[in-house]
Structure 1
């Protein structure tokens, strides 16, 4: 083909264009499309964390694996966390709570440290979050870390259940703390269980390690004798350590709120005050988590700054 006395090689032009297209395509193939750290797994189960090791981390980053759909976390108030912490140099597990018990913390920078506080602030119950942090000279952590956090409820949630006649009425404050109105009648002589909110989580089995919020009241006048709601921080018990609960809470579901009326023939377990010996006690219990005894040797401390 001639143009202005010069020969134009069409085949060469086509070949050069094709090479350019292939080069661009090759660049696209080498570009990373996935994040450095990929977190998979189901709700209420340990996560699977995937990344190349050693992971190079120059500054703390954070991502939301999935959004929470529950209440907003409140600054200065308790949060309940499951966590999975890895050494990002070799992806080895440092510690985790899924086989022990979730850990309550306060949503403050003082309690959590700057990074974890920033990761949790503004989140909602039900969120799964991942934090990637460099080695910290401010702590004993001499390696970069990957931490997955599941934000658990700190109060019962589910379908309300109408109480049977003759049971004390329960009123909840804005933060979930219960009070009761005495009936003015004689208490039942048998251990009595009344679900107030029916949750949809795992059922409690014999010997489980349970995490709860609770208050105890005297049947006669509704006086509060013991509670976790003063601090709002959930507590963890081995079910067998609380004799009345070990019978009353079997097969109740996590997420439920349960009233348990305990006659004086039962040991209370959670309250040791002799002042109330011989009295019928009414417990209002929010069931937040349960773990099987074989997988729950003891509660595990949650990570702090630099971990």
Structure 2
């Protein structure tokens, strides 16, 4: 399911203005077919059934409002909670790639410039409780970024459940007074980035060490959630920085179960709103392999603000 969802983030903005689909207030559970020839059946709130037309798959991206919904409108910038079902439209098996109705875990999709334009526009035509059909063909991939062979046309049926609260800008809560020996973290307060210093003669521990610097008051992170965080990463002893979301100017968002073991173990159970510093031994980091300029067998140090979890 994660691979299917990744299509939404991986496909760059399309280069044409998608034609608006029907928005005629079709009733829940109706079978609807638009210019794509696809027919969608089933109630919003349950896994849909898609019937594909004979012949070759569509070569142009498009969207169609299957059910407009009656709740709040979707707007740009929302962190939209959706149930989605994804198909490969290859003109042969047209196989389903996954559905959050099967996993019973809705997905969160930021409605922003990283989405294909067809979805940016389509989402603004539905409200909470609505259903959107989107066809993403290879014309949604910018020149020079097409894969060879081309990916099959994707079909998404998206049921809008609601929105997630906006992430925090920085950690917020009470400072605990905890520290990690050999590492210095200065928290300037407000929405400013903390300063991490890892230049030390102290030997790093062989086990994962996590210290809470600011304890948030939000729900505790669970292993299967998607996190929004700000972080800075350095190498123990050298003070060499290898990554910082603060310097990029925007937080990172990722499924916790898709990152290194040190993060998975270190952040599970941490309340949202917290700032933690973690010392991660090589076996829970990148091990004996050099990774993006990080030497083999490095102990990694991160200061992490947990801004949201969903």
Give the alignment's TM-score, normalised by structure 2.
0.48
Higher RCO by CA contacts (8 Å cutoff, separation 6 or greater): 1
